[in-house]
Amino acid sequence: MPEILLPGEHFDPKFPDYVYAAKPLVKIFKSRSRSNRVANVFLGEWMRLLDKEKSTTGRMHVRFRGGEGYVDFADLTRNRCLEIFFIDVSQGDGILIQTPDDRRILIDAGESDDAHEFIRNKYRLDKPDNYIDFEAVIATHSDADHTKGLLKILADPKIAVKRFYHNGLFRRTDKKQDPGVHNDIRVYGLVDRPDAKDVPSLTPLMKNLLSAVAKAEKNLPVVIKKMKDHGRRVDVPQDGFVCKRLDAADRFLSPYDDSTKPLIIEVLWPRAVIQEGKPSYSWYGDAGKTVNGNSVVLCLKYGNQKILLTGDLNAASMEHIREIYPNTPEKTSALEAHVYKAAHHGSQDFSVPFLQSVKPDAAVISSGDDRNDIHGHPRAVLMGTITRYSRCEKPAVFSTELTACFTRLSKKEQAQFNSGKTQLYERSIQGIVRLSSDGENLFLGTVHGLKAPGDPLANILWKWDLWP
């Protein structure tokens, strides 16, 4: 099949018919010549070429998620982008990273099944021959609004998880031992994987998490074989399934640890101190703050773009991190980033000097209480401060909670729920914030407008709020 390449593009033999949107927003038309539009697709979104005869002029016939149409050749590229999906999981975090070399990393998954459903829909795991693999699944820390949603994902028989990473702190029922033996300064008991003697002391969620990890380990060779049987080329870690505590001493997240690669993922936090041969973290006053403050923090570097992902850090831990990665006249801080995933869902417990080090041009806040806004996130003071130290003229703040759209149910629909006079609503658009970068440019976007017919994840009829 003839290759269609522009200067600087590469051809991926795994996907000979696939091309990607080359502009922030690419128009898909109903025909080769008419101007009526059927969809808008975001930078990096896939399309499959349907024309038998390939051409470098005019419009190409393509299939995209949600239908078919025609796209100007100049709007297509063979090069994949870095794509990050900040998933709407209500109150919690869920981040899916799709790398330019077709690998996947999942960071947290909220407390509900929303992240699992998003993954199953995105990769069409409802189809009998479809499977998907993750280079890594990461629990930044052990709170339910970050880890509970991982249970079904880890145990899904159609998902191959190669590595499971965490911060080494597992919650326990005994307060004196929770999340490890501690004093007023340090917390100990950091582990890669709790052994059998420790399991009885863990909370029910932690026990369920370890059970799901065991299922992921058992599933890995089975799913890999099925993927290979269906023609998918997939590699596995040399040592098999990995369950490991992430630490700043690791420096990088495998396999994105080579400075010669366009995408590098650095591990910035937590940072253990070895005392009498035992690793320990800082203690932040109570078990909850300590687990949050020692969240896994990652920095993605793709070309000249940087994205900082910070779990549920608090002001005290932010100050500790800032001391390790100072911003000096001679050296830019490792914390400086173009996009900042706000810590702890936009909590007011943050450090202004930390934000001065990050200098985010755009921020993403993941939040959304289901009832009575019990956490009150995002807080007004954080919203007002988060991009104050931006380096650009028009910074932006995206929120999964504000991006989600809801539709009032009719009286007939309400009657089915016996709701009486209470007005009910359904979520008609998920509050997903999308990031896409080709290494030179970076864009964030969310959708709004009328709900698309058919596939609820299709882009038909959507309007886009784009930044910059």
Co-location of 293 and 275 in the same domain: yes
The boundaries of the domain holding residue 260 are: 82-403
* Same domain as 106, residue 56: no
Asked if 197 and 267 sit in the same domain, the reply is: yes
* Domain final position from 403, 423, 455: 403
Q: Check if the beta carbon of residue 436 is closer than 8 Å to that of residue 43.
A: yes
- State the total domains in the chain: 2
Burial of residue 72 (number of CB atoms within 10 Å: 0-12, 13-18, 19+): middle
Q: Are residues 161 and 281 in the same domain?
A: yes
Note whether residue 93 is domain-resident: yes
Q: Which of 378, 403, 428 is the last residue of a domain?
A: 403
C-alpha atoms less than 13 angstroms from C-alpha of 348 in its C-beta half-sphere:
5
Q: φ, ψ for residue 304 (rounded to 5)?
A: -100, 15
What are the tens digits of pLDDT across the range 183-198?
A: 989 999 999 999 988 8
- Separation between Cα atoms, residue 366 and residue 376, nearest integer Å: 12
Cβ partners under 8 Å of residue 219, min gap 6: 155, 156, 157, 159, 160, 161
Co-location of 139 and 264 in the same domain: yes
Same domain, 244 and 155: yes
CB distance 187 to 179 below 8 Å? yes
Quick one: 10 and 128 in the same domain?
no
pLDDT value of position 422: 65
Least confident span in 9-18, 323-332, 459-468: 9-18
Q: For 153-207, what is each residue's pLDDT tens digit? A: 999 999 999 999 999 999 999 999 999 999 989 999 999 999 988 899 999 999 9
Closest to 187 (Cα-Cα) out of 281, 318, 72: 281
Are 49 and 86 in the same domain?
no
Asked if the model's pLDDT at residue 452 lies above 60, the reply is no
- pTM for the model: 0.90
Residues 50 and 150 occupy one common structural domain: no
| Cβ density class 187-203: b for 16+ within 10 Å, e for less | bbbbeeebeeebeebbb
195 and 273 in a common domain = yes
Is residue 123 a part of any domain in this protein? yes
pLDDT tens digit string along 267-321? 999 999 998 789 999 999 999 999 999 999 999 999 999 999 999 999 999 999 9
- Whether 436 is in a domain gets the answer no
Q: Are residues 12 and 161 in the same domain?
A: no
261 and 373 part of one domain: yes
Residue 96 sits in a domain of what CATH number? 3.60.15.10
The whole-number pLDDT of residue 430 equals 67
Tokens of 185: 């300064």
Largest CA distance in the chain: 74
Q: Is residue 409 part of a domain?
A: no
